[in-house]
């Protein structure tokens, strides 16, 4: 029955759920149509909880609900009361015929916006075939990953990496652990530039949260992917999921081999003594890797779920390298030699996690969550270095090193969320994190025909850090406006010790981290968001450990056990708008960082020694814009632009480090659909040069190309990718001081990849990541 309505605007609301599982269906399409003309008038997308709200200026309308894999439902009967229509809970049934065909409809990656984060849903980007998580991150707006694998967010390092919202051994940058995660395994990446107090305060630039895929369809589902490439980049990956009423069993496993060549050049110039040491060489990081994830969700009942999962990864490394050195003085070439390295390492990594989630009867969003996480990373590494003189004086200097590294981390976390009313939500919780690390390092010099331990370079470094945290947030959200405020307290206890020399350092400090977020929906096509947060960057083990790798003993990087943490205040204003077939967002932001950690180089006997130091403050003000434009179905254009101006102030050992500069980057991509289900994807990137405290970093441009062909009705996909087409992605650093100059250059080169992916059961080809998301 249709009740009469007044001529005012009618508000229509509802909630969409799966008929069998009773789970919310997020990001489904809701269409409002005119019954008389049978034409669509307006449309919206359900939020992540399956809820929607749409407005009608006509009283005789219909609602059409649709989502991939489900039968479309049309609603023509409803009651209008006080200019409102509440459709209540709308049940959708699976369309078995559509599921059997598994038509792949997902396209390139897209970004969604929420109150305090952006969600980059990883699509079927062709050039990412066989790529690691680091290469996927490099495609995410606002994120850059340099040739060395260092991650920056809006041009700043100090980024906290999470896996499924938690710390993980797979997120350890120092161990290259992200290389064991392939693009096929990633569902989405959350970019949180201004995290609320609910999140760890770690990471002065923000948080990147990598969400891994986990099947949700009932029955047995799975997919398999095969990848190969030049230079060697071969892998196989399998994803399986078995879902019943009580259990959801999931596993992912993969194995592969890759060779990562790198060409490098360095130059050290002593301006006082007019001497120069140059080196040119090539190094390889050949890795055989294995990765296994196994877990289960056990639904005790509709309100209680236990999740137990584990991950094991193992790498076997072989790192041969050869570098040619030349030593010059004011008279010319004095000596030349070749330094060769043979390094072997094994890296076991594992983690285990237990989660308990309780939902309360009064509301689905009323949740208590307890989690405990343990993780371990080890490295057993042995290196041999041999110098062969090719001209002039004999340089000698054969050496050996052994490293035994072990890191154990434990996290205990309790989170409680309570929607006190339809508009007010309370969140509170606590967390305790333990980091326990040991690094035994020995250097042996070749003296009189035997290798003898060098006591000056040998030591056992121990690092122990404990962080206890408490937080609380309150959110108030109306239809067009929302606000969220929070406070987090963290108590840090850090101890480092050099066992052999009996040197220790202890730090204990308590800090408070407020956060504030608000959003305002001006219209259906224009919204505003604003946020503030305070962050911390605690020095890592490798920042603190004073001992170093001697691969190139003329360019040494070492740590500083006296290093203090950085603190950053971050402000941001973002607008989100749609103009026709284009969607865009623009942000203005400001970050002010105290106790900035910079690597300061000093020069001794033609050797450059780089050590991290706390040097003053940095204020960065920036502008970022990214968007997407699809004028026709077969053509999509995406772009990202980030610019920031920074001012550095500081002094170190009576040297003034006051200067200002600017840094910008841009990315432009296009996807073109051709006949015969062939797609072409082209992406171009540019990163500008910028000043550092002692020199500058050169800019560079690079491009990626991909081609994809769908076969077997979309159940299988063949991809061809070319990364760094013109071999122009480089790392080039200059240091200029009164008494010395240094230069370093690194380049990885062009990578070609070929991939095949096939979905079976109700699974889909692993290059597809569309569909339901919680």
Question: Which pLDDT tens digit goes with each residue over 218-261?
Answer: 456 677 888 899 999 898 988 777 766 677 777 878 899 998 89
Residue 742 has pLDDT above 60, yes or no: yes
Residue 463 has pLDDT above 60, yes or no: yes
More confident residue, 192 or 106: 192
Residue 170: pLDDT band with limits 50, 70, 90: low
**CA separation for the pair 119, 131 (Å, rounded):** 20
Residue 686 parent element (H or E): strand 678-687
DSSP 181: S
- Average pLDDT of 500-525? 88
**10-100 classified as CATH 3.10.20.30:** no
For all residues of the chain together, what is the average pLDDT? Answer: 82
**CA separation for the pair 467, 469 (Å, rounded):** 6
Kindly state the percentage of the chain with pLDDT values over 70. Answer: 84
Using left for φ > 0, alpha for ψ between -120 and 50, and beta otherwise, residue 197 falls in alpha
Query: 499 phi and psi, to 5 degrees?
Result: -65, -45
- Is 593:611 a contact under the CB 8 Å cutoff? no
- Whole-prediction pTM value? 0.73
pLDDT digits (tens, 9 = 90+) for 554-588: 888 888 988 999 999 999 998 888 787 787 888 99
- pLDDT-wise least confident of 115-119, 166-170, 326-330: 166-170
Q: Domain 219-761 - what CATH class? A: mainly beta
In the chain, where does the domain assigned CATH 2.60.40.10 lie? 10-100
Q: What is the pLDDT of residue 772?
A: 26
pLDDT digits (tens, 9 = 90+) for 580-607: 778 788 899 999 999 999 989 888 888 8
- pLDDT-wise least confident of 105-109, 112-116, 457-461, 677-681: 105-109
Residue 680 has pLDDT above 70, yes or no: yes
In the chain, where does the domain assigned CATH 2.40.170.20 lie? 219-761
DSSP class per residue in 51-104: EEEEEES-SSEEEEEE-TTB--EEE--B--BTTEEEEEEEEE-B-HHHHHHT--
Residue 364 has pLDDT above 80, yes or no: no
More confident residue, 373 or 27: 373
- Is 625:644 a contact under the CB 8 Å cutoff? no
């Amino acid at each position: 029955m249709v009740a009469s309505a007044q001529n005012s605007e009618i508000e229509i609301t509802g909630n969409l759920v799966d008929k069998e599982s009773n789970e919310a269906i997020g990001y489904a399409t809701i269409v409002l149509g005119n019954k008389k003309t049978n034409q669509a008038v307006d449309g919206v997308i359900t939020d992540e909880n399956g809820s929607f709200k749409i407005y009608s200026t006509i009283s005789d309308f219909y609602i059409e609900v649709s989502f991939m894999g489900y039968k479309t439902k049309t609603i023509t009967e409803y009651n209008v009361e006080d200019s409102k229509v509440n459709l209540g809970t709308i049940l959708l049934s699976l369309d078995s015929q559509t599921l059997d065909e598994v038509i792949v409809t997902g396209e390139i990656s897209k970004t969604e916006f929420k109150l305090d984060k952006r969600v980059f849903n990883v699509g079927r980007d062709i050039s990412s075939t066989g790529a690691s998580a680091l290469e996927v991150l490099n495609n995410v707006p606002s994120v850059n990953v340099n040739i060395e694998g260092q991650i920056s967010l809006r041009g700043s390092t100090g980024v906290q990496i999470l896996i499924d919202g938690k710390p993980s051994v797979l997120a350890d940058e120092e161990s290259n652990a992200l290389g064991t995660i392939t693009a096929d395994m990633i569902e989405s990446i959350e970019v949180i530039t201004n995290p609320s107090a609910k999140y760890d305060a770690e990471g002065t630039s923000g948080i990147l949260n990598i969400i891994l895929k986990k099947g949700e369809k009932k029955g047995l589902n799975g997919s398999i992917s095969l990848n190969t490439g030049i230079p060697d980049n071969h892998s196989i990956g399998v994803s399986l999921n078995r879902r019943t009423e009580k259990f959801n069993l999931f596993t992912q496993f993969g194995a592969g081999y890759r060779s990562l060549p790198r060409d490098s050049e360095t130059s050290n110039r002593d301006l006082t003594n007019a001497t120069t040491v140059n080196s040119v060489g090539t190094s390889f990081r050949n890795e055989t890797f294995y990765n296994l994830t196994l877990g289960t969700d056990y639904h005790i009942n509709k309100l209680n779920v236990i999740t137990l999962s584990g991950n094991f990864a193992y790498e076997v490394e072989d790192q041969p390298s050869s570098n040619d050195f030349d030593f010059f003085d004011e008279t010319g070439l004095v000596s030349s030699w070749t330094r060769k390295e043979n390094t072997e390492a094994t890296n076991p990594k594992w983690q285990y996690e237990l989660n308990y989630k309780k939902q309360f009867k009064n509301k689905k969003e009323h949740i208590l969550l307890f989690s405990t996480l343990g993780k371990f990373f080890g490295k057993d590494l042995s290196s041999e270095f041999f110098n062969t003189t090719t001209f002039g004086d004999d340089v000698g200097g054969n050496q050996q090193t052994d490293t035994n590294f072990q890191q154990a981390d434990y996290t205990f976390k309790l989170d409680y969320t309570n929607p006190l009313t339809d508009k007010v939500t309370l969140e509170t919780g606590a967390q305790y994190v333990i980091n326990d690390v040991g690094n035994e390092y020995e250097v042996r010099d070749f003296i009189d025909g035997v290798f003898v331990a060098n006591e000056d370079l040998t030591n056992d470094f121990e690092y122990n850090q404990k962080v206890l945290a408490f937080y609380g947030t309150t959110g108030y959200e109306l239809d067009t406006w929302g606000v969220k405020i929070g406070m987090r307290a963290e108590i840090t206890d850090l101890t480092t010790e050099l066992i052999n020399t009996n040197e220790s350092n202890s730090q204990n400090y308590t800090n408070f981290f407020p956060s504030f977020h608000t959003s305002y929906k001006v219209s259906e096509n224009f919204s505003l968001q604003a946020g503030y947060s305070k962050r911390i960057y605690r020095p890592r083990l490798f920042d603190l450990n004073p001992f170093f790798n001697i691969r190139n003993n003329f360019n040494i990087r070492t740590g500083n056990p006296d290093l203090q943490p950085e603190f950053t205040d971050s402000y941001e204003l973002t607008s989100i708008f749609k103009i026709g077939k284009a969607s865009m967002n623009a942000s203005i932001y400001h970050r002010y960082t105290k106790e900035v950690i910079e690597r300061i180089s000093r020069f001794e006997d033609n050797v450059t020694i780089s050590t991290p130091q706390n040097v003053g403050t940095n204020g960065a003000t920036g502008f970022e814009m990214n968007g997407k434009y699809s004028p026709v179905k077969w053509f999509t254009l995406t772009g990202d632009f980030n610019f920031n101006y920074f001012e550095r102030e500081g002094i170190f050992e009576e040297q003034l480090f006051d200067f200002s500069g600017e840094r910008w980057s841009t990315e432009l991509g296009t996807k073109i659909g051709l006949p015969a289900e062939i797609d072409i994807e082209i992406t171009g990137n540019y990163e500008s040069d910028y000043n550092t405290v002692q020199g500058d970093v050169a800019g560079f441009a690079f491009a990626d190309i991909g081609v994809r062909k769908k076969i077997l009705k979309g159940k299988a996909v063949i991809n061809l990718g070319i990364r760094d087409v013109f071999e122009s992605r480089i790392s080039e650093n200059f240091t200029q001081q009164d008494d010395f100059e240094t230069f370093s250059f690194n380049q990885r080169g062009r990578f070609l990849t070929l991939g095949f992916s096939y979905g079976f059961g109700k699974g889909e080809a692993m290059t597809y990541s569309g569909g339901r998301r919680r």
